């Protein structure tokens, strides 16, 4: 029965969309990787996407549940986020999404 209940459980995604000051995307990327590497319990993976030829990007971080995201905040994490703050051209737009469906690639023979 627990396998069936696990099937009904959805992951959550934290999404941030923003632009960095000119030429600052690589520095922000390094801080993003450091911040994400501090996560453990409930963390399901992360992507940082960059629009080609720009300093615009989208960060997507997957969690088992929203409580896990809050539980992974640490002094180190907060310091890295603060350090990243001055790199933004404007405050990013952030929101949470429930993962409605997930499609994995077929296993190769």
Q: Which domains does the chain have, with CATH numbers?
A: 10-98 (3.30.70.100)
Strand, helix or coil for residue 98: strand
- Give the pLDDT confidence of 36-92 residue by residue, as tens digits: 999 999 999 999 999 999 999 999 999 999 899 889 888 888 898 899 999 999 999
Q: What pLDDT, on a 0 to 100 scale, did the predictor assign at position 7?
A: 55
> What pTM value is reported for the model?
0.85
Instruction: Name the more confident of 109 and 87.
Output: 87
Q: Estimate the share of the chain in helix, then strand, then coil, as percent rounded to the nearest 5.
A: 35, 30, 40
């Amino acid at each position: 029965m627990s396998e069936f209940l696990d099937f009904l459980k959805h992951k959550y995604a934290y999404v941030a969309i923003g632009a960095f000051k000119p030429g600052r995307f690589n520095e922000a990327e390094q801080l993003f990787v450091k911040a994400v590497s501090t996560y453990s319990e409930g963390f399901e993976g992360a992507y940082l996407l960059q629009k080609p030829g720009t300093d615009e990007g989208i960060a997507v971080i997957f969690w088992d549940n929203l409580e896990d995201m809050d539980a992974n905040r640490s002094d180190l994490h907060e310091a890295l986020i603060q350090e990243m703050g001055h790199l933004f051209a404007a405050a990013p737009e952030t929101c949470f999404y429930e993962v409605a469906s997930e499609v994995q690639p077929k296993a190769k023979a």
